[in-house]
Structure formats: structure tokens, C-alpha cells
């Protein structure tokens, strides 16, 4: 299996979650509220909510924040968030998918468009870059969960489609519709995973070997992620080891 994306590793090493912890907590709480409002407020009866709560716990969101987010979904004053996907190109033609939850579509669209324009990108139409990604489930285990062969066998028996392992951990991929089922089967075999979520997985990441290009791209991604309406940002690139070290 291919080694896991250098981009994912540099993200992990940079500790982006620590840097944006307060924003991260609010984004995860928003996903919990929306998931609970769309389905059952009991995580055991609502696969999307169960995964949202799991993701929040893995990012050290306090239990009372999680409980409040679920309770908020049942109140009459809960905001009506709309899920929107934006697609475009960053500097040097790197494809970017932006997933947002907003109560004001015009505000979010205006902001996202301005970020792309300001940082050398170009916002496109829906579908303009998503064909370069696969919508899949991603389940992550730390390296301590077992060696690559052990995790591979457990993943295949659970119904996963692919596994990527390196020194930092194991990334197990599933069809998007199988995420909850495969995640539950893996927990029985390997214990609780670190994260389990739906992602856009680049089919053929472009290698970024120029530091200046990488810095411009990271600035756009950081700016997008800092927006309160933006939930996730995915781009189809890998940093070379040399550039990753200079950025890190």
C-alpha cells in the first residue's frame, strides 16, 4: 500500500488543532448540533451523530460542550445551518474542496470567493474539482494499535477497501456508505479508533516541491480554515520532505 500523504503528516506535526483549538471546538459542536437535528439525538441511533461525537472526543472537546451541542439541536431556537461545498483552484492549480455550514449563504460565498482571489486562487463551479477526489470513509489508528500486517488483516475482515500505514499510524479507508459499519467492526478487533470520518481523498496528489508555492498554498488553506463557516478544507497535493521540513 502507498505511504500516507506527507500533507496529512505535516498537518499532524504542525499541531493545527492546538493552534485553532477554540475554532475547532465550535466547528465540531456545530457538526454535532446539525447531525442531532437531522436525525435522532441519541448517538447510538444516529450514525452521523455518533461519528461527530467521536471526532469531538478525539480532539479533547469537553463532555459538557458535546452535551450542550446535542441539547441545542432539540431547542426551537437552534440555527438552521445549510451545508454547502465550494470547489476551486489554489496557487499553481492545486484543487481545493471547501465544506461549509452556514446560516447565511451569501456571506459565506462572498468570503470564500475573496479568500481564493486574495491568495492567488480561483473559485470554480460545484463539480469543477471534486472529480479528482474520492468520497470515502477514513478511520485512523495510532501506530500502537498493531503492526501493518495485523491492522491490514483486521481492516480487510471488517470490510475496508484500503489501508495506508507509516511510522505515525494507520489510515483505513472504506466506501462512504460503509464507514459506520466498518468502524464498529474495527473497534471490536483493534479497540477504539482515534478518528472516523468522511473525507475527500485525492486520487493523484500533485507534488509541491517549491517553498514559495507551498507557503502561498498554506496561507490560503489557513485563511479558509479560520473562517467560522468553514468546516473542512481538502486539497490534492503532497509536500516533498524538504519543503515539509522547512514549513514545519
The residues, any chain, with a CB within 8 Å of residue 26's CB and separated by 6 or more, are 228
Number of H helices, E strands in the chain: 10, 10
Q: List pLDDT tens digits, range 173-196.
A: 999 999 989 999 999 999 989 889
| CB contact at 8 A, 29 and 78 | no
**Quick one: 82 exposed, middle or buried, by C-beta within 10 A (0-12, 13-18, 19+)?**
middle
- Quick count: other Cβ atoms within 10 Å of Cβ 106? 8
Q: Provide the residue ranges of all domains of the chain, joining segments of one domain with +.
A: 8-74, 83-247
Fold of 8-74: Arc Repressor Mutant, subunit A (1.10.10)
Digit-coded pLDDT (tens) for 144-165 = 999 999 999 999 999 999 999 9
In the structure, what pLDDT confidence band is assigned to residue 16 with cuts at 50, 70 and 90?
Answer: low
Q: Specify the pLDDT at position 77.
A: 60
For residue 245, the model assigns a pLDDT of: 83
- Cβ distance 242 to 209 under 8 Å? yes
**pLDDT above 90 coverage of the chain, percent:** 66
- pLDDT attached to residue 22: 77
d(CA 234, CA 148) in angstroms, rounded, equals 26
36-64: average pLDDT:
90
Question: Per-residue pLDDT tens for 53-97?
Answer: 988 998 889 999 999 999 988 876 667 888 999 999 999 899 999
Q: What is the mean pLDDT of residues 196-225?
A: 92
The strand pair at 133-142 and 169-175 is best described as antiparallel
Q: Pick the closest to residue 48 from 196, 192, 233 (CA basis).
A: 196
Residue-level pLDDT at 248: 65
Q: Which of 98, 93, 102, 101 is nearest to 112 (CA)?
A: 98
Contacts of 47 (CB under 8 A, 6+ apart): 179, 180
Report helix, strand or coil for 30.
helix
> CATH number of the domain at 83-247, please?
3.30.70.980
pLDDT in tens, 113-143: 999 999 999 999 999 999 999 999 999 999 9
Beta strands 195-202 and 133-142, pairing class: antiparallel
Give the whole-angstrom CA distance, residue 138 versus residue 71: 28
Max Cα-Cα span within the chain:
52
- The CA distance from 145 to 195, in Å, is 13
Q: What is the DSSP code string of 150-195? A: HHHHHHHHHT-SEEEEETTEEEEEEEGGGHHHHHHHHHHHH---SE
Amino acid at each position: 500500500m502507498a505511504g500516507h500523504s506527507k500533507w496529512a503528516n505535516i498537518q499532524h506535526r504542525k499541531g493545527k488543532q492546538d493552534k485553532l483549538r477554540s475554532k475547532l471546538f465550535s466547528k465540531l459542536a456545530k457538526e454535532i448540533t446539525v447531525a442531532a437535528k437531522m436525525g435522532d439525538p441519541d448517538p447510538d441511533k444516529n450514525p452521523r451523530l455518533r461519528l461527530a461525537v467521536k471526532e469531538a472526543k478525539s480532539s479533547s472537546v469537553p463532555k459538557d460542550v458535546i452535551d450542550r451541542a446535542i441539547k441545542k439541536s432539540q431547542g426551537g431556537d437552534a440555527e438552521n445551518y445549510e451545508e454547502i461545498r465550494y470547489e476551486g483552484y489554489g496557487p499553481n492549480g492545486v484543487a481545493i474542496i471547501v465544506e461549509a455550514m452556514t446560516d447565511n449563504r451569501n456571506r459565506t460565498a462572498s468570503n470564500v470567493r475573496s479568500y481564493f482571489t486574495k491568495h492567488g486562487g480561483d473559485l470554480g463551479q460545484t463539480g469543477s474539482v471534486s472529480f479528482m477526489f474520492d468520497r470515502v470513509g477514513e478511520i485512523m489508528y495510532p501506530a500502537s494499535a498493531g503492526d501493518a500486517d495485523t491492522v491490514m488483516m483486521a481492516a480487510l475482515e471488517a470490510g475496508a477497501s484500503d489501508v495506508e500505514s507509516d511510522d505515525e499510524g494507520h489510515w483505513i479507508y472504506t466506501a462512504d456508505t460503509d464507514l459506520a459499519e466498518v468502524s464498529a467492526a474495527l473497534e471490536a478487533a483493534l479497540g477504539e479508533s482515534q478518528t472516523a470520518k468522511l473525507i475527500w481523498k485525492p486520487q493523484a496528489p500533485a507534488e509541491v516541491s517549491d517553498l514559495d508555492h507551498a507557503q502561498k498554498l498554506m496561507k490560503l488553506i489557513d485563511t479558509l480554515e479560520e473562517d467560522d463557516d468553514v468546516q473542512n478544507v481538502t486539497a490534492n497535493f503532497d509536500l516533498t520532505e524538504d519543503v515539509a521540513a522547512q514549513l514545519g
